[in-house]
Amino acid sequence: MESRRMALIAVLGVILYLIYTAWITDHPPPAPPAAAAVPSAIPADPNAAPVPATPAAVGSAPAVAADAAPTPAAVSQTIHVKTDLIDAEFATAGAELRRVELSQYALDKKNPDVKLPLLNDRDGIVFTLQSGLAAIEKALPGNNAVYATPQTRYELPAGVDTLEVPFEYVDAAGFTLKKAFRFKRGSYQIELVQTVVNKTGTTLNVSPYARWLRNPASAEKAQKFIVTFLGMGVYEQKPNTTDYRFKKVKLDELDDKAYESKQTGGWMAMIQHYFIAAIIPPADEAVTLSGKPAGNGNYLGQYLGATKPVADGSETSYTTGLYIGPKLQGSLDDVAKGLSLTEDYGILTVIAKPLFVVMSFFHGIVGNWGWSIILLTLLVKLIFYPLTAAQYKSMAKMKKFTPRIAELKERYADDREKLSRAMMDLYKKEGFNPLAGCWPILVQMPVFFSLYWVLIESVELRQAPFVLWLQDLSAADPLYIMPVLYGASMWLQQRMSGQLSTMDPMQARIMNIMPIAFTGMFLFFPAGLVVYWFVSNVIGIAQQLVITKRIESADAASRALKKA
């Protein structure tokens, strides 16, 4: 009886977890209308730059000026930049990074030539990078200042490792603002160097800033039953310590309460499924990281650097790191300390990370993520074989004593307490534990959930092909073949175990529904997960046949000895 209850609890627990994941966890907010898309020139927010963490001797905050519209003689242009990994577009207004396509990542499997635009300013999507310098003494021009650049197209030449894209704005007030975006071959890192040349006749106290402007829309279509995080991630310094922690802030949470942290170093990123865009200041710099609504359904995630005095007749530069790309396993901490925490597997990280490492090892051997999942399944079943053997031995004994259990049920049909006591006496006398059949199921649940998160969070498995019709292990089976095969294997296992015959009619009806229920749910789950569970069932069926045959042979030998 307890064995059945635990099995039902385990099955229902899986169902409740999957329903919770699919429907309760943070439904993505609806995409804003196209009218909310980023306009050709966004005036800088006068309140966007908070007080710097270490202000100069002058006690007031640097001011980010609200821009006037650009004059007709200084209309913004689009500047195209191409490296081996990135196709980018800048607007000369503010030298704003408006669009970044990742050339190694297709938007979807059906259109492999259409690349994913991580940063974007069209089709109702707003996700751009604004940057600039803020001064205490005067309002420096912001996003509407139209910068000059020598070319309209830049491309990383063959055999060259870096590409610099320069922008310059000369103001009649006597200062010059420069920006240089430095791209690297084979890297999603970009270095932003901002320079102010001061010829105003007075000292300026200047702070750099960079900020993501985005709305909740994304070019990637959300998958059914797959809910992922979209929002701001911050590597923030714990109060009154030198330790840091990773904090996630959903975009809609900023509507209720703006975020701000004054600290040393750290980073601030916008995170979405598989990808991140991070602003990474120098590790020893006193900074202010903040996030808040920006109107029209948009949000700002901003870094403001420490103030430096710039004497008249001198210039000062400020360097900020950027990362715009995939959450590649094992390499993000080389970009910035703690950035790998964005590879978020939740509370199951301690299991999910090793699973991915093992799968990566197998992938290095077979070169296919589908076969890697199958090899991982074999390894898991091998590790859990002692428990599995105990499970099938328990099932075999339970099946052997089915007539006696049925007799006890009939004898004590009106007295549940006596029935339970008689059942326990039978278990004790015959030397088997009915709970042994449940442990392999319960132990494998964390592996099941961990693999689920590995499949939906690991960019390495995004659009990964397997064989035949399974050309994307991170998406649902398009022909529903694997879910049906899984349901059939689950039904077969139930019949082979013989446990249905020991259950009361209500329990048996529930267990009969389970293969249909799981088949229905798995229609929408990543194909790689269904491959894992189907292969696990097939291996389990084979193990059950072998173990049952051994038990029957041992019983036959025992009876022969007794007769002799």
Q: Which residue has the higher pLDDT, 420 or 38?
A: 420
Q: Is the pLDDT of residue 365 over 70?
A: yes
Residue 391 pLDDT greater than 80, yes or no:
no
Residue 497: pLDDT band (50, 70, 90) is low
- Structural domains in the chain, CATH included, are 2-21+351-563 (no CATH), 31-344 (2.70.98.90)
Q: Residue 380 contacts by C-beta under 8 Å, 6 or more apart in sequence?
A: 444, 447, 536
Query: What average pLDDT does the chain have?
Result: 79
pLDDT, position 6: 43
Residue 400 has pLDDT above 80, yes or no: no
How far apart CA 198 and CA 148 sit, in angstroms, is: 18
pLDDT band at 502 (very low <50, low <70, confident <90, very high): low
Query: What is the residue whose two structure tokens read 């105003």?
Result: 200
Question: Does 477 have pLDDT greater than 70?
Answer: yes
Beta-carbon count within 10 A of 419 CB: 18
Task: Please give the angle made by the CA atoms of 134, 70 and 277, to the nearest 5 degrees.
Answer: 50
Helix and strand element counts for the chain (H, E):
12, 19
The CA distance from 235 to 246, in Å, is 5
Selection from 2, 3, 1 nearest residue 390 by Cα: 3
In contact, 156 and 183? CB cutoff 8 Å:
yes
Contact 419, 437 (CB under 8 A): no
The pLDDT tens digits for 138-161 are 888 878 889 999 999 999 999 899
pLDDT at 34 over 60: no
Q: How far is CA 448 from CA 64, 70, 267, 396, 531, in A?
A: 51, 57, 33, 26, 12
Phi, psi of 467 (to 5 degrees): -140, 155
**From 258-267, 308-317, 506-515, the region with the lowest mean pLDDT:** 506-515
CB atoms within 10 A of CB 243: 8
Q: What is the mean pLDDT of residues 116-125?
A: 91
- The amino acid that residue 405 corresponds to is I
Listing DSSP states for 382-431 in one string gives HHTHHHHHHHHHHHHHHHHTHHHHHHHHHHTTT-HHHHHHHHHHHHHHHT
User: What's the CA gap between 338 and 213, in Å, rounded?
Assistant: 23
> Tokens 């307490």, residue?
417
Lowest mean pLDDT among 67-71, 122-126, 183-187: 67-71
Between residues 487 and 433, which one has the greater pLDDT?
Answer: 487
Q: What is the pLDDT of residue 527?
A: 85
- Express each pLDDT in 56-72 by its tens digit: 333 345 654 444 334 44
pLDDT at res. 247: 93
DSSP β-ladder status, 231-237 and 244-250: antiparallel
Task: Answer for the pair 307, 56: CB distance below 8 angstroms, yes or no.
Answer: yes
Nearest by Cα to 543 from 397, 381, 419, 417: 381
pLDDT at 266 over 90: yes
pLDDT above 90 (res 522): no
